[in-house]
Amino acid sequence: MLRKLLIFCLALLTVIVLAACSEEGSSEGEGDDSLTIGISLPSATHGWMGALIDNAENRAEEIQEEHGIDYVMTNAADPNQQANDVDDLISQEVDVIVLLPIESAALSPVGQNVKDAGIPLVVVDRELENDAADVVVKGDNEGIGLNAGKYFIEQLNGEGKVVEITGPPNSVTEQRGAGFEESIADENGIEVVASQDGDFSTETSLEVMENILQAQPEIDAVYTQDDGMALGVVQAIEEAGRDDIQFVTGAGGAKEVFESIRDDGLISGTFLYPPTMIMDGVDVAADIAQGEEPEDDLVIIEATEVTEENVEEYYDPDSKF
């Protein structure tokens, strides 16, 4: 009887030890494997966004391979869908979320949902209208407007009729517009004769510019807040046979725009706003997921002016954007 009891106790002890070891190993493995980055982006409605989506996925895959951090990426066609996407990421209990809002105001409430859920939030490109973001990664949107305004003053010698093609309602549009307005505010000779929303779309900007050309018999230059919109504007100008417009500017750094600048086309300047910024956002998210404190809560990428003088420094014939 004593022998049987001893054997039973030894067997029970063995089971307990093995279970403890198994639980410890499983816990450690799950700790490594359970880290997940949620990435919520708009759909690829234009070249810049398409390049940004590619950069996001490529960087997320690299991080997955290097650090074992999983990712879930969604693309939305409208703010309501994106809000649902983010709420779904919250329900999946991801460790950190990277968000590029389609519209700043519309996505601010869901940004607050992320914060309330205790999930760190990295916002890229377009800011929210609250303090939900832990880190913001963006280009210098106000700098784009300021630099564009200075360029217009120089090229027009302080006098001319100007058209502005803006983006949809969000922080990017507001800041690029405010910077341009501030830059030309003291130039009484420069008049903005029309300002309309081109929705960061080549096709929409083409249609908008067609209407403006019919309404405005005299235009000296066009400031667009996006390279894709600049291409649509140029197409409208060329199809209308207008030769009074001296130049068009963009923003972003698209290959086709660089080619226009290089080849003395109608687009004579642009201001850098690289789609690679999303890679910085994903890197920050990976660091946060692994328990690291971000070095800065705001990362701003310089709005470098690109003209015929320096375009070869930035032109990449193999670029997808």
What is the residue type of 74? T
The answer to the question of residue 12 being in a domain is: no
**Looking at the structure, do residues 123 and 45 belong to the same domain, yes or no?**
yes
Examine the domain organization and report whether 283 and 251 are in the same domain: no
Pairing of strands 305-306, 267-271: antiparallel
CA distance 33 to 192: 55
Residue 1 belongs to a domain: no
Q: Which residue positions in the chain have pLDDT lower than 70?
A: 1-33
What is the C-alpha to C-alpha distance for residues 107 and 97, in angstroms, rounded to an integer? 13
Residue 9 lies in a domain: no
Helix (H, G, I), strand (E, B) or coil at 171: helix
Total-model pTM:
0.70
pLDDT for the residue 170: 83
CA atoms within 13 A on the CB side of 116: 10
Question: Pick from 69, 74, 102, 78: which is nearest to 86 by CA?
Answer: 74
Buried b (16+ CB within 10 A) or exposed e, 221-239: bbbbbbbbbbbbbbbbbee
Indicate if 118 and 154 belong to the same structural domain: no
3-state secondary structure 68-109: CCEEEEEEECCHHHHHHHHHHHHHCCCCEEEECCCCHHHHHH
Local structure of residue 34 (DSSP, 8 states): T
The tokens for 306 are 């690109």
Domain that holds residue 121: 36-139+275-301
Q: What is the pLDDT of residue 274?
A: 85
Quote the pLDDT of residue 112. Answer: 96
| φ, ψ of residue 27 in degrees (nearest 5) | -65, -45
In terms of domains, do 181 and 224 share one? yes
Shared domain check, 240 and 284:
no
Please tell me what DSSP assigns to residue 294.
P
Taking the C-alpha atoms of residue 22 and residue 60, their distance in angstroms, rounded to an integer, is 31
Structural domains counted in the chain: 2
